[in-house]
């Protein structure tokens, strides 16, 4: 009881005013939880407001096209969340009469809803006494109990979940869960936590033993791979161009991009040109490399280096298109969902 008492008291005076906390409706709570997966509150908030504006009810989201959902999601990353969000909205609208499941176990069946998110929705919307365990909770509990097992392995994660149940205020799970996460985000931060004014100080094992900065322990995994993307921007005299939708299961699934040749090693210009001509067996009147230095994009475990080639051609013929390709005027490029990497290029060079 000490733990929950302290953090909820801390919460009532330090909490941020966030829109999804002012409701018990499952729809906006679900929406916020999906958006905030691996995403900072500050980054997700504008998207949350934008989505509620376009889709006030889950039915409105269900009726939208996936392309529109992806467009609104553009820039938030992890686009499978947007596809699963849309699929789940349709499922709830068409099969569940627009009513969200109201238990953790039933919520867990929804696409894109895992262990954390099902607990979050069940506790926030339906007051189910189930603990949330996210990055914040891993940090707070590993420090408070002095757990030095890696939190991203099953043994450590299981122990954290045990402790999360142990400290959970079963009478006020919604308040407790909000409090412990907010506490992790604002007080028990990854770097430079405010231990000197912490209400848990007296019982925090990590603080007592001076291991706060060492916890939580995580096993590292990253081996950075580089991908070389060579985009071909065809432009005809009417300012039309071709984009194509990424299919398959890789990065940016279902987003649009210019026709591309990908390499795992830095290609020679000859190789790029060869790929270009196999993709477009057409007359090219002039080629210019659009940007002198390539666009370098760093992701968590990957480095993307993108070169853009602008190809001026006499005419784009519809019958040469593949199924997933679209003919667009340059001014229409802003209407289709594209990776941020491309959006930046488009804004700088084509509009």
Q: How far is the CB of 105 from DNA (least distance, A)?
A: 13
Q: Is 111 a residue that touches DNA (CB under 7 A)?
A: yes
Q: Which two tokens stand for residue 197?
A: 């004014």
Round to whole Å and give the CA distance between 344 and 349: 9
- Find where tokens 């003919």 sit: 327
Q: Is 114 a residue that touches DNA (CB under 7 A)?
A: yes
Round to whole Å and give the CA distance between 37 and 77: 10
CB atoms within 10 A of CB 350: 17
Q: Is 78 a residue that touches DNA (CB under 7 A)?
A: yes
Round to whole Å and give the CA distance between 78 and 166: 33
CB atoms within 10 A of CB 271: 14
Q: Which of 13, 191, 283, 285 binds DNA (CB under 7 A)?
A: 191
Q: How far is the CB of 126 from DNA (least distance, A)?
A: 16
Q: Which of 80, 208, 226, 324 binds DNA (CB under 7 A)?
A: 80
CB nearer DNA, residue 30 or residue 313: 30
The residues in 249-268 that bind DNA, with binding defined as CB under 7 A, are 249-253
Q: How far is the CB of 21 from DNA (least distance, A)?
A: 6
Is 33 annotated in the active site?
A: yes
Q: How far is the CB of 208 from DNA (least distance, A)?
A: 21
Q: Which helix (H) or strand (E) segment is 240 a member of?
A: strand 240-245
Q: Which of 63, 94, 99, 153 binds DNA (CB under 7 A)?
A: 153
Contact indicator for 290, 349 with CB cutoff of 8 Å: yes
Q: What is the DSSP letter of 243?
A: E
Q: Among 3-11, 57-65, 116-124, 286-294, which window interacts with DNA (CB under 7 A)?
A: 116-124
Query: What residues contact residue 311 under an 8 Å CB cut-off, 6+ apart?
Result: 232, 233, 234, 235, 276, 280, 284, 286, 287
Longest dimension (CA), the chain: 75
Alpha-carbon distances of 85 from 93, 94, 98, 155, rounded to whole Å: 12, 14, 14, 31
Q: Among 58-66, 135-143, 159-167, 286-294, which window interacts with DNA (CB under 7 A)?
A: 135-143
Q: Is 320 a residue that touches DNA (CB under 7 A)?
A: no
Q: So which residues are the catalytic ones?
A: 33
Q: By the criterion CB under 7 A, which residues form the site for DNA? A: 18, 20-21, 32-33, 36-43, 75-80, 84, 111-118, 120, 134-136, 138-139, 153-154, 178, 181-182, 184-185, 190-192, 218-222, 224-225, 249-253, 297, 299-302, 339-341
């Amino acid at each position: 009881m000490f733990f929950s008492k302290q953090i909820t008291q801390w919460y009532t005076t330090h909490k941020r005013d966030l829109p999804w906390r002012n409701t018990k409706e499952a729809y906006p709570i679900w929406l916020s939880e999906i958006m905030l997966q691996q995403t900072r509150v500050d980054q997700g908030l504008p998207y949350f407001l934008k989505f509620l504006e376009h889709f006030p009810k889950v039915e409105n989201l269900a009726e939208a096209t996936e392309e529109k959902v992806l467009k609104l999601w553009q820039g938030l990353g992890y686009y499978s969340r947007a596809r699963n969000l849309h699929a789940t909205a349709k499922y709830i609208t068409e099969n569940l009469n627009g009513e969200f499941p109201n238990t953790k176990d039933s919520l867990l069946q929804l696409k894109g809803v895992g262990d954390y998110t099902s607990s979050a929705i069940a506790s926030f919307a339906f007051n189910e006494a189930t603990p949330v365990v996210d990055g914040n909770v891993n940090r707070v509990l590993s420090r408070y109990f002095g757990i030095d097992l890696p939190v991203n392995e099953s043994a450590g994660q299981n122990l954290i979940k045990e402790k999360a149940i142990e400290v959970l205020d079963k009478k006020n799970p919604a308040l407790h869960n909000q409090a412990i996460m907010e506490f992790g985000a604002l007080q028990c931060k990854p770097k430079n936590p405010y231990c000197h004014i912490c209400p848990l100080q007296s019982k925090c094992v990590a603080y007592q033993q001076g291991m706060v900065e060492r916890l939580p322990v995580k096993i590292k995994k990253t081996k950075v791979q580089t991908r070389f993307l060579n985009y071909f921007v065809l432009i005809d005299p009417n300012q039309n161009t071709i984009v194509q939708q990424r299919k398959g299961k890789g990065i940016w699934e279902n987003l649009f991009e210019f026709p591309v040749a990908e390499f795992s090693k830095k290609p020679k210009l000859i190789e790029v040109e060869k790929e270009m001509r196999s993709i477009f067996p057409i007359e090219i009147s002039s080629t210019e490399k659009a940007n002198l230095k390539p666009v370098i994009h760093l992701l968590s475990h990957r480095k993307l280096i993108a070169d853009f080639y602008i190809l001026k051609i006499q005419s784009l013929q519809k019958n040469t298109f593949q199924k997933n390709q679209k003919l667009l005027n340059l001014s229409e490029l802003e209407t289709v969902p594209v990776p941020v990497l491309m959006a930046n290029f488009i804004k700088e060079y084509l509009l």
